[in-house]
Structure 1
Amino acid sequence: MAETNDPQAHGMSLPWPDRNSKSMLHGGSRFGFDANQEYQMPADTWNAIKANPDAIKPLLAWFVGDHYRNQLPRLLTLERYYQADNDIHFWHSDKAPDRADNRITSGLPRYITDQKVGYQFGNPLKFAYSDPHKPDDSGDDIVNAIAAFNDAVDEPYHEKVMGKNLNNTGRAYELTYVKQDSNDLALRAIDPAHCFVVYDTTIDLNSLFAVRYYMVKFMETTTYYVEVYTDSMTYYYTSSDSPNGEYTLTGQSPHFFGTVPITEYRLNDERLGAWEPKLDEIDAYDRSVSEMANSQEDFNNAILVISGDVDDEDDIDNAVPLTDADGEQVTDDEGHPIYKADSIDPKKRVLFVKATVIDNPNGGTTVIPTTASYLTKELNAKGWQTYNDRLLADIHKDTNTPDVTDQNFAANASGVAMSYKLWGSDQERATQQSLYTRGIKRRIRLLATYWAKTSLISSTDEAEHVNPSYTPNLPKNDNEVITNAVALLGSGQLSNKTFWSMIESATGVKPDGEEKLMKDQKAQEKQEGLDYMNKVGGSDQDKANQFGRPGGSQLGDGSVDDGQDDSDGRPGEAKNQPADKLGQKV
């Protein structure tokens, strides 16, 4: 599908819709000066009208109109490239109608975006609570609330959508809201091409309001919907003419988040997409591949050049009889007349050529051999490949995207070698994660404000102590992970839970689940031992000595309580053995 359902907006994103005036790689700026400006206004001006939806209309019309004219074309262009609808499709090449004119896109923007999203968000984020002033406070109430919320909104997938929007356009927006006719919170990624936030003029850039606008075409009726989110209200408008036309207020409702519920995320301070600075090289690569395809096709349809006479036995009506010096019809060995053709059918796969005989003034003849060959240009395939390889190398290098098709990429699979190959990606990711964490912290504050009002948590201050952690999605060697974890466990400097966390990627079991499984396994082993002793016979003292220290008591489930907690024992370590005597050699 198209990147938008608004045909006018789509047309505005095309570089040269008329295809009549520009070449593809032209000079000057690709986007206008205002294509990526940040919106700001004095807070006093906004506060004076924010409670009056009618007074908002003129201001809203200006911001929406400016965004529609100046910012939307850039955003839709970037989204087009992700969908492989690159500018090569709209290139005016000035080729003759009978020449090949292929338009081949590379798909590099999708490759780069998907690689970066998978690397950063391929593994789910983890949320941990830590209050340095209250080290004993585990924050169970807000941690559990976040876990339930993330499960309900499919938070791992939401992060991937946000990551895709960020890498494509340099910005992403999410709306936190309460589902209709319920008290359940929800989260939704908003298309950055149809959303923006207006900030105040302070150095903190506080959100004043956010706007989401979009078009709906139902049957033959086109309607633009515009939603305005303030720090306490949501206003709903419609316009039938244009997104910045005459607005009609259709509804309003309060929200209880205490601030603007739309959060803007940024990939970098400049709000540039991951591959946006390399659009020129992407266009050059598309053109190079397309022109090579054109050359190959033109080669197959090359012009046949004939110097001399040809035979065409099938076109007798248009043929000219071939005669000798005396004007007599020339025949072949079987007596069939031979003709000279006035025209050549290019669809015929066989062409008969013969020498041209010219009568000399002195009575003799001159024989000129007939030649037939295709007129082609030489293809420098090696130079073309070198040029393409150079473009691809620059694109991968400047976007910090590993080329996994490179034969040398995984030639040395050691951890150190792989780390160096991903060095650039990791440096960029560190910065991007810091910016993304700012957005997540704001999301958690919005949630905490609502949860505090509904008494799900005790205080909104708890949100300040929740932090996300990221696990890069890298190829992993489970055997190496387990070996290293077991070695650390054997050193005695690692707890069971930390060990289980380390091997979670290999087992797929979370630490708490592994602890429960271990306890269940021990209880089952004890029960099986008691069943065996009851079967073969034995005194109660024998059972106690066999399954616990002397004096241990039997639990209601048949297991023996030896007075000690086995949950902290290490995997494979003997349990409840008598201590060695001092100085005793084992």
Structure 2
Amino acid sequence: MATVNNYERDTEYKEHRNKVFKRDANEVYTYDGTSAELQKDTDRLSEFIKHHLSVQRPRLDMLNDYYEGLNFNLTRSKRRRENHMADNRVSHDYAAYITDFINGYFLGNPIQIETQDEKVAEELNSLTRINDLDSHNRSIGLDLSIFGRAYEYIIRNQDDEIRVYKSDARNTFVIYDTSIEENSLVAIRYWLVETNEQQEDIYNVDVITTDATYFYRANTTTNLKLIERKPTERHLFGRVTITEFRNNEKRRGDFERVVPLIDLYDNAQVDTANYMSDLNDAMLLVKGNVDLSDTNVVKLQKEANMLHLEPPEYESDDGKVTEGDVDAEYIYKEYDVNGSEAYKDRINSNIHLFTNTPDMSDEKFSGQQSGEAMKYKLFGLEQRTAIKEGLFKKGLRRRYKLIEDMLKINSELERSKTLRDLTFKFSRNLPKSLSENIQAVSQLSGIVSDETKLSLLTFIDDPKAELERMKKEEDEELERSDNREYSFDQQDETTEE
């Protein structure tokens, strides 16, 4: 089958992928020394920043572009092939579909944090309300799905509030020690301030250590040498206040491994679109000796969407006149409809297969299905999410360790209290059958406690509060019953008199 623009043979695309997906584009930075030694070694810090800018940042930018629908084939400026042929650019939003679906499935329902201590529960509720941690957690999950890593920055602001923020994964990284525990030594945030007339990129750099934040400025012309831009600010957290969350052990995004398949699908659809466009401008082939000298006549025939061809006449030696042959047809490339559509369907199927996401256009997935049947269809996604959940809990534990230390320093939490024994409960965000849920829970009567049964009902967020409301209603009903009985007794006594 002839191809239109030969996208599969694109050497520019291969060079682009080789540049972005370098072996060390996802390297975890380590330093053999202490946090104080690394902070003083500004030349080494500059090397880390330079490597992140030149090697790691291109991969992160590429993943962000795909999430925003700016696929490589769409954004390149160089025109392909012949100038007279169509050059459609088609971008398919697979990356956003995969990311939003997985993140919604994982963190669409708020994380339930459980503790037996009422004072700790009050502090947690206050922190959640001030920082809107439910939305914050979903934002962290979004970066995890796109970049394979996310960064959380905790500060104590001027109002003596503990605030939790997300730091952009494209310009943040943590340097760890070389121990088996992988302790955080230093975290670095950098961002572009300006590009001056000499085309010099100037960056602001924040270096966060276990006890302070150092503020620098760096310039590309000076090899990113760190120059102090304002005085150091001390903090009392006792740890690096930026926490790295990981999507998986390899820090890979959820759609990263199928980026080549997304490109193939874009290419296939582009070839089809360009074929259809080029077909409208197909070349007309006229066979025969036809007089086309009068261009006005030819133009009028084209505007009338018709072609009148007068065949030539040939006279033989004996005076006999015969007409010549005339034929006209359009020339266009052959298009294997069935083969091309089967190819695109196979790519689409593989994208969903390798990302463990369902294809909502698949009739086999839609329709009325039980909750258990749905779970089996999402079994692969559940395995991936279980890994995300375990690593997310690790980041949450570090978050609340930092918060606990600061609360105790400021005497906002008693020394005997702790945030280190919290229980984090994740619940998948799936459409549920209410009747199935109630029926399953009702069968547990006499087997488990009422609180456990209520916790299994998907529409009840706080089983303890629900039990208290039930008890209150029972007491009110008992009181009304007693009042009615008292009224009846009073009426009986009056009748007897």
What is the TM-score when the length of structure 1 is the normalising length? Answer: 0.75
Matched, 1:24 2:13: yes
Match of 1:36 in 2: 26
3-state secondary structure, aligned to 1:34 = coil
1:290 is matched by which residue type in structure 2? V
Q: Partners in 2 of 1:346 and 1:455 — Cα distance? A: 88
Q: Does 1:47 align with 2:36?
A: yes
Matching residue of 1:14:
none
Tell me, what secondary structure is at the counterpart of 1:407? coil
For residue 473 of structure 1, what is the aligned residue in structure 2?
429
Q: Which protein has greater RCO, CA pairs closer than 8 Å, 6+ apart?
A: 2
Residue number among 407, 413, 417 corresponding to 2:373 in the alignment? 417
Distance 2:243 2:38 in 1: 22
SS at match of 2:453: helix
Amino acid at match of 2:425: S
Q: Residue type of the partner of 1:178? A: R
73-82 vs 142-151, which moves further: 142-151
Matched, 1:122 2:108: yes
The answer to whether the 8 Å contact 2:211/2:238 transfers is yes
Cα distance in 1, alignment partners of residues 478 and 195 from structure 2: 69
Judge which range, 235-244 or 185-194, deviates more: 235-244
Amino acid at match of 1:205: E
2: CA distance between counterparts of 1:540 and 1:247?
93
| Structure 1 position 486, deviation (Å) | 2.1
Determine the structure 2 residue equivalent to 1:191: 168
Q: Does structure 1 residue 521 correspond to structure 2 residue 477?
A: no
1:319 and 2:308 matched:
no
CA positional deviation for 1:460:
8.0
1:92 Cα deviation (Å)?
Answer: 5.3
Return 5+ residue gaps in structure 2 as ranges.
1-9
Instruction: Tell me the distance in 2 between the aligned counterparts of 1:481 and 1:417.
Output: 14
Deviation at 1:30, TM superposition (A): 4.9
Question: Quick one: which amino acid aligns to residue 457 of structure 1?
Answer: L
Alignment of 1:99-178 (within 5 A): 99-129=85-115, 138-178=116-156
Shift of 1:147: 2.3
Q: How does 1:173-322 map to 2 (within 5 A)?
A: 173-179=151-157, 181-216=158-193, 224-239=203-218, 244-245=224-225, 247-308=227-288, 319=294
Q: Report if the CA contact (8 A) 1:309-1:340 is conserved.
A: no
Q: Answer yes or no: is the 8 Å Cα contact 2:120–2:417 preserved in 1.
A: no
The alpha-carbon distance between structure 1 residues 368 and 444, as it changes in their structure 2 partners (threshold 3 A), is same
Counterpart residue type for residue 319 of structure 1: D
Deviations 1:262-288 (A, max 9, x none): 011111121111121222111111100
Distance 1:77 1:49 in 2: 30
Q: How many angstroms apart in 1 are the aligned matches of 2:475 and 2:351?
A: 59
1:183-214 deviation digits (Å, cap 9, x = unpaired): 11111111111000011111211111000111
Q: Is the contact made by 1:216 and 1:225 (CA closer than 8 Å) also made in structure 2?
A: yes
Matched, 1:68 2:53: yes
Render the CA deviation track for 1:490-528: whole Å, top value 9, x for unaligned: x3233332233222x33x563233234324433443554
**2:351 counterpart residue number:** 395
Q: CA 1:86–1:340 in structure 2 vs 1: closer, same or farther (change >3 Å)?
A: closer
Cα distance in 1 between the residues matched to 2:46 and 2:342: 51
Q: Distance in 2 between matches of 1:468 and 1:450?
A: 21
**C-alpha distance in structure 1 between counterparts of 2:79 and 2:338, whole Å:** 24
Measured in 2, the distance between the counterparts of 1:516 and 1:39 equals 51
Count residues in correspondence: 479
Q: CA deviation at 1:443?
A: 0.6
Q: Percent identity?
A: 29
User: Which amino acid is the alignment partner of residue 116 of structure 1?
Assistant: I
Structure number, greater radius of gyration:
1
Looking at structure 1, the residues matched to 44 and 417 of structure 2 have their Cα atoms a distance apart, in angstroms, of 35
Amino acid at match of 2:59: R
* Deviation for aligned residue 1:390: 1.2
What are the Cα deviations for residues 4-34 of structure 1, in whole angstroms up to 9, with x where unaligned?
A: xxxxxxxxxxxxxxxxx93435685752232
Amino acid at match of 1:163: G
Instruction: Give the match's secondary structure for 1:464.
Output: coil
TM-score by length of 2: 0.88
- Residues 460 and 234 (structure 1), Cα distance of their counterparts in 2 relative to 1, 3 Å cut: farther
What amino acid does structure 1 have at the position aligned with 2:46? Answer: A
- The 3 A distance-change label for structure 1 pair 459 and 537 is same
Compared CA separation, residues 32 and 368, structure 1 to 2 (3 A): same
1:81 and 2:66 are equivalent in the alignment: yes
Kept in 2, the 8 Å contact 1:304–1:373? The answer is yes
Residues 311 and 351 in structure 1, CA contact (< 8 A), matched pair in contact too: no
Answer whether contact 1:127 1:469 (CA < 8 A) is retained. yes
Q: Quick one: which amino acid aligns to residue 226 of structure 1?
A: V
CA distance in 2 between partners of 1:159 and 1:455 (Å): 27
How much has 1:160 moved relative to structure 2? 1.3
Closer, same or farther in 2 for the Cα pair 1:22/1:345, shift >3 Å? farther
> More helix per residue: 1 or 2?
2
- Cα RMSD (Å): 3.0
Alpha carbons 2:171, 2:189 under 8 Å: kept: yes
Alpha-carbon deviation of 1:364? 3.1
Q: How does 1:318-467 map to 2 (within 5 A)?
A: 319=294, 349-411=305-367, 413-459=369-415, 462-467=418-423
- With over 3 angstroms needed to count, the CA separation of the structure-2 counterparts of 1:355 and 1:448, relative to structure 1, is same
Unmatched 5+ stretches in structure 1: 1-20, 130-137, 313-317, 321-338, 543-586
